Amino acid sequence: MLGSRGKVLVAMSGGVDSSVTAALLQEQGYDVVGVFMRLGSPGETFDELEPYDDVDASLACDPAKIRIGKQGCCSINDAADARLVAAKLGIPFYVCNFKKDFGRIIDYFVGEYNAGRTPNPCVRCNDWLKFGKLHDYARQIDAEFVASGHYARIEAIGHGRDGLALKRGVDRDKDQSYVLFGAPQERLGEMMLPVGGYEKREIRAIAERLDLPVFDKPDSQEICFVPDNDYAGLVRRRSPDDVQPGRIVDTSGKVLGEHEGHQHFTIGQRRGVGVALGYPIYVVHKDPEANTITVGERDELKSAGCRARETNWFVPPETVSDWTPCTLKIRYNAEPVPGRVRRTGDDELEAEFEEPQFAVAPGQAVVCYDGDLVLGGGWITEAR
């Protein structure tokens, strides 16, 4: 009987992955409820909808009243697409107003850039909203599970904490286990990731078979709250006093030029540095206190390892108290590389790479794997 397997809240972003997530769970007999997360992107209003906080999380979505931003995973088109898919599947569809909570993510993003680090807001969004606040909302509507369209898997294993493990997605090109590393281990039993066992092409084929209107929709590539990918522009608007001109120096300290604010640069950046030395140069260091950018050659970006804090483990922490062989992923679009990891404190880890890695950036996450299994990870504080 439909719904006999329990109620599932599906975070529907309007993309093909979350749409097929809802469809697969419905086919499996779950009582599916679709939710679109109102985050407060540029140009978004939703003025006609009552605030989430005022109506105890029971917001019916009127598609005629949806007006939000222009890009990313929470745009006006995405909201309309999510509504169309929900109507096609015949499932309830609601809007959750997380605008206030999403402001915390934007503040984090701005704060990290001002501190000279390179943030990853998508990981924070998953930790704080999709598998944080959204679980609170799920409990209010008596949903047992929260599902999303991430390419990762949750599977029962014979060991580990609570017998559940987070694993890489079957489609290696789309694997998103990296951005889920911060999900609390105790949440795994409440999380569903149905598309993680499929290749992307299979997901599109399922969407086409079910005549879902998003079967050929391109994947979102942008951060939803950063218009035109102008990160520094956002930081300047949110904290104008913190973005100031400073010096560009080489590794000996020689002044080579001036920049408009260290927030315009990331570790490893080559294009747009603003000075020419007759050979390729890269941003190798940022000093937010002195407001300087240090440039150098590519070899000066190599790191033997890194340290990280705010760790989260999916295996008993004591099993990684000594050096543990693993593979290490230092940014979302990088492949895991061989190395080893050890826990150096209640909330710290140290990682070493078999071969030096390029542009290890503080502010990004380092995630540790044993084959497909996610051991855990943390936020990089320094490269070594």
The catalytic site residues sit at 125, 224
Intra-chain end-to-end CA distance of the chain, in Å: 57
The C-alpha atoms of residue 375 and residue 198 are separated, in whole angstroms, by 22
How far, rounded to the nearest angstrom, does the alpha carbon of residue 242 sit from its chain's CA centroid?
25
Between CA 174 and CA 170 the distance in angstroms is 8
Please list, in sequence order, all residues whose beta carbon lies within 8 angstroms of the beta carbon of residue 280, skipping any fewer than 6 positions away.
270, 297, 298
Q: Are strands 302-313 and 348-358 parallel, antiparallel or unpaired?
A: antiparallel
Query: What distance in Å separates the CA atoms of residue 233 and residue 113, rounded to the nearest whole number?
Result: 11
Number of other residues whose CB lies within 10 A of the CB of residue 253: 9
- What the block records as the tokens of 178 is 């990296």
Those residues whose C-beta lies under 8 Å from the C-beta of residue 76, and which sit 6 or more positions away, are 43, 44, 66, 67, 68, 69, 70
Q: Residue 139: count other Cβ atoms within 10 Å of its Cβ.
A: 13
DSSP of 1-27, one letter per residue? -TTTT-EEEEE--SSHHHHHHHHHHHH
| CA–CA gap between residue 128 and residue 192 (Å, rounded) | 17
In angstroms, rounded to a whole number, what is the distance separating the alpha carbons of residues 345 and 311? Answer: 9
Cβ burial of 271 (10 Å; 0-12, 13-18, 19+) is: exposed
Q: What residue spans of the chain are helical by DSSP H?
A: 16-27, 76-89, 99-114, 121-125, 134-140, 200-209, 231-238
